[in-house]
Amino acid sequence: MTRMTVSADPQGRLSDAWRFAVGTGRFELALRRDYQDSLALIQRDIGFRHIRGHGLLSDGVGVHRPYEYAGERRVHHSFTYVDQVVDAYLDLGIRPFVELGFMPSGLASGDQTVFWWRGNVTPPESHKEWADLVRATVAHLVDRYGIDEVRGWPIEVWNEPNLADFWAGADRDAYHHLYEVSAHAVKEVDASLQVGGPAISPGADGWLAPFAEFVTERQVPVDFVSRHAYTSGPARHVPFGTHQSLAPATDLLTQFAAPRRHLAGTALADLPVHITEFNSSYRPDNPIHDTAFHAAYLAPVLAAGGDLVDSFAYWTFSDMFEEAGIPTALFHGGFGLLTHRQIKKPTYHLYAFMARLGPEVLARGDDHLVTRHPDGRVAVLAWAPVDVTGRSPAPDRHPLALSIPLGSPATTSAFLLRSSVGEEAGNAWAAWAEMGRPRSPGVRQLDALREAAEPSRTHRALPVAAGRVEVDLTLSRHEVTLLELTPVVDETPPWWDADGLLGAEPGDDR
């Protein structure tokens, strides 16, 4: 096995695009206490900056309230639920990534809906009334939270309009009109607010150039470009679940790079690019999200994605995620915090490991990322390879040897703390299966699952010679591991004698 020598000179900075935003279920779920408890734990361990979900303007939030008075149609805009949700977000240190959608039924031109909670996906009956709704909503946010705060919240127009399920007829011209009306309404509140789109799904990059042409010709404001990225194939449904094939994880990085490739030479070429949804599967009922495989699969994407885009938001953070109906299983959709149970998954730990990396990148590889903190500590993220076909299972052992610069020339010892998740460690899904997949685990079973969900942790001292420490790793199948190396300053008092713990006198040969 060849040992890789890590340079002491920084190779660049580690982007934090991976935690700029995270996805969530429909907007009003944030009114639930268990949801807020889960988000609080995620913010403590990871710390996302923004959160994006559907349904801000759908009936469940109750913003658009038409009524008649004196024989005339009028509209009242109510922000009771909006305020409660945004207040809760800000209290937890996370800010909205605002998605304008879906259509309130009292303004919709048709009755086509998506999801069991019936988000309306038809154009507005009146674009003027839609503009009034957008303007009123954004103005309320500015009035309540201040322009300095809200100008930092990206505002995205709609969700996946290239899909007929999300926009009636997948009518591109109708979307362009909606975008134009919405963007102008946002800018009428304040020109410094960020607005963008077109929030397309994978396979719809043909929408990007026409979008750029439209906004340029019409002089429509656009501050960022958004797209989604998934690698799952056609859905094979089973009772209360979905199975799908996956493309290699490198396909996600290819998708991340697509907007800038397609917009090269246009007026939008240099705008920020936000991947406002990404994952392996878009299905909340695909159990692949719960596995150790999934963490190892996504590790290289988190390590490299920030080199390609300004943000990429995992879809979604929580199992309280009801696109396919109310969850029927213990494990469902998100990367951790199973409703109120706070049972973490391997992908959750991958994100928590990322949060402990340093800002300086010392080395990158197909299976590792070496970083350094300002105080000299070194943190290494390493992962075992995966096989997406299922026909050639990944090896049970994956070796990695590194020579890492650490400390001053006088440093002689390093403290190594290793945290790992894999098929056996930090894997509540595996433990649940070994329990017989109980539908409603009892108290003791839940306690056992919480214990099983924690990473394994080991520690040891390693010698440092000539400013370097040699690390030899053997990763188990689908393992993701975090190594934290700290130079040791030995403060052992001269009178310390380990043998004395059992009463021996110095020099006693017992």
Q: Model confidence over 395-443: pLDDT tens digits?
A: 789 999 999 999 888 899 999 999 999 999 999 999 999 999 888 888 8
Average pLDDT, integer, range 248-256: 96
Supply the mean pLDDT for the chain.
92
Percentage of the chain exceeding pLDDT 70: 96
Read off the pLDDT band of 317 (50, 70, 90): confident
User: Does residue 102 have a cis peptide bond before it, meaning omega lies within 30 degrees of 0?
Assistant: yes
At 49 the pLDDT is 97
pLDDT for residue 337 is more than 50: no
Between CA 447 and CA 461 the distance in angstroms is 32
Greater confidence, 508 or 269? 269
Percentage of the chain exceeding pLDDT 90: 77
Between CA 441 and CA 431 the distance in angstroms is 12
Read off the pLDDT band of 339 (50, 70, 90): very low
Q: What is the identity of the amino acid at 290?
A: D
Read off the pLDDT band of 242 (50, 70, 90): confident
Note whether 232 and 201 are within 8 A (CB).
no
pLDDT for residue 340 is more than 60: no
User: Tokens 């959608």 label which residue?
Assistant: 101
pLDDT tens column, 75-126: 999 999 999 999 999 999 999 999 999 999 999 999 999 998 999 999 999 9
pLDDT for residue 510 is more than 70: no
At 311 the pLDDT is 97
At 440 the pLDDT is 83
CA-nearest of 396, 456, 389 to 427 is 456
pLDDT for residue 372 is more than 90: yes
Average pLDDT, integer, range 237-264: 91
Average pLDDT, integer, range 327-356: 74
pLDDT for residue 458 is more than 70: yes
pLDDT for residue 509 is more than 70: no
At 67 the pLDDT is 95
At 327 the pLDDT is 67
At 506 the pLDDT is 64
At 409 the pLDDT is 86
In sequence order, the 6+-apart residues with CB closer than 8 A to the CB of 436 are none
pTM for the model stands at 0.93
Between CA 289 and CA 282 the distance in angstroms is 10
Note whether 49 and 19 are within 8 A (CB).
yes
At 507 the pLDDT is 63
Note whether 157 and 182 are within 8 A (CB).
yes
Between CA 40 and CA 89 the distance in angstroms is 9
Q: Is 76 helix (H, G, I), strand (E, B) or coil?
A: strand
| Positions marked catalytic | 160, 277
pLDDT for residue 334 is more than 60: no
User: H helices within 355-454, ranges in order?
Assistant: 428-434, 443-453
Average pLDDT, integer, range 373-383: 97
Q: How far is CA 80 from CA 31, 96, 137, 140, 144, in A?
A: 11, 16, 12, 11, 12
At 8 the pLDDT is 92
Q: Which two tokens stand for residue 292?
A: 């150790």
